Amino acid sequence: MSQSMQGRVRTLPESYVPDPAMLPPEGGPLREVLLSNSWFNGLPDYLIDEILATGHRKAFRARELVHGKGDSSDGIYAVLSGAVKVCSISADGLECVFRYLSPGNWFGEIGTLDHSLRTHDAQAIEDSELFFLSALEVSRILENHPIFYKFLALLLCRVVRTAFTMLDDSALLSVSARLAKRLISFAEAYGEPRPEGTLIRLHLTQNDLATIINTTRQTINKRFVCWQDLGWIDARYGRIMITNIAALRQFAEEE
């Protein structure tokens, strides 16, 4: 791990034991969380059973690095609780966020498939629990069940589609439309229904959103002020409530 990476990530002692309060109960809804993902749900039952029996849980504190860009690829992960962001940091400290991963989502398949180094950082946004399947176990499953290659290819196709969508949005949509579209996606992935709207259960600052859609914090602030005046959102102190998601959808489609 580079010195710059070490400087921005809080490392934990090898003796670290996670606080049981931050974890789901042992034997909790692991299967249910993983089956909520359509890719995992589409696996044959025997593969689902083998993966669940082979993998294990790992706990990460908020802002702890799951893996760094350039690290060896030790396996694939799925988010069980919390959230993970996949990103890159430039030499001068600028961050580019590729995607946010909510419970049920998998990552780490690229390096595990081609046995190369990690392409991005993966960092826990909040206290999180992940399901981990080591590269050795992935290889063993592939050797015993070659059809798993097909399903890993389908998982990789999702990443490619996401990348193409981001390129299209960056080239074809205005900053305001990109922001509206991203807020909608966060509400769908992390939304908690409230009487006044949908609360996004992620702590997102204006700087965070600026890095995600490649603009400035000042631009995000102007949009937020405008949309709050229109009654579409309520944003304060990293807390974002979507109060009129229909209006945001229409704006994103028409802008």
Name the packing angle between helices 45-54 and 135-144 (round to 10°): 150
Residues 6+ apart with CB under 8 A from 195: none
3-state secondary structure of 77: strand
pLDDT band at 54 (very low <50, low <70, confident <90, very high): very high
User: Residue 44: what pLDDT?
Assistant: 96
Quote the CA–CA distance of 141 and 135 in Å, as a whole number: 10
Quote the CA–CA distance of 58 and 79 in Å, as a whole number: 10
User: Residue 45: what pLDDT?
Assistant: 96
* pLDDT, average across residues 116-144: 96
How confident is the model over 195-218, as pLDDT tens digits? 999 999 888 888 889 988 889 999
Domain ranges of the chain: 3-170, 173-254
- Name the CA dihedral angle for 72, 74, 75, 76, rounded to a multiple of 10 degrees: -60
Q: When comparing pLDDT for 117 and 24, which is higher?
A: 117
Q: Is residue 7 over pLDDT 60?
A: no
Share of the chain above pLDDT 90, in %: 68
| DSSP state for residue 224 in the 8-state scheme | H
Poorest-confidence range of 72-81, 121-130, 147-156, 229-238?
A: 229-238
Quote the CA–CA distance of 135 and 122 in Å, as a whole number: 17
CB 125, CB 84: distance < 8 Å: yes
* pLDDT, average across residues 57-76: 96
Q: Is residue 1 over pLDDT 50?
A: no
What CATH class does 173-254 carry? mainly alpha
Buried b / exposed e across 211-229, counting CB within 10 Å, b at 16+?
bbbebeeebbeebbeebee
Q: Which two tokens stand for residue 114?
A: 């081609």
Residue 85, φ and ψ in degrees, nearest 5: -110, 145
User: Residue 20: what pLDDT?
Assistant: 38
User: Residue 167: what pLDDT?
Assistant: 87
CB 113, CB 46: distance < 8 Å: no
Asked if domains 3-170 and 173-254 share a fold, the reply is no
pLDDT band at 250 (very low <50, low <70, confident <90, very high): very high
Quote the CA–CA distance of 235 and 227 in Å, as a whole number: 9
CB 12, CB 61: distance < 8 Å: yes
pLDDT band at 24 (very low <50, low <70, confident <90, very high): very low
User: Residue 221: what pLDDT?
Assistant: 95
Element (H, E) at 122: strand 121-124
What CATH class does 3-170 carry? mainly beta
Q: Which two tokens stand for residue 83?
A: 């959230």
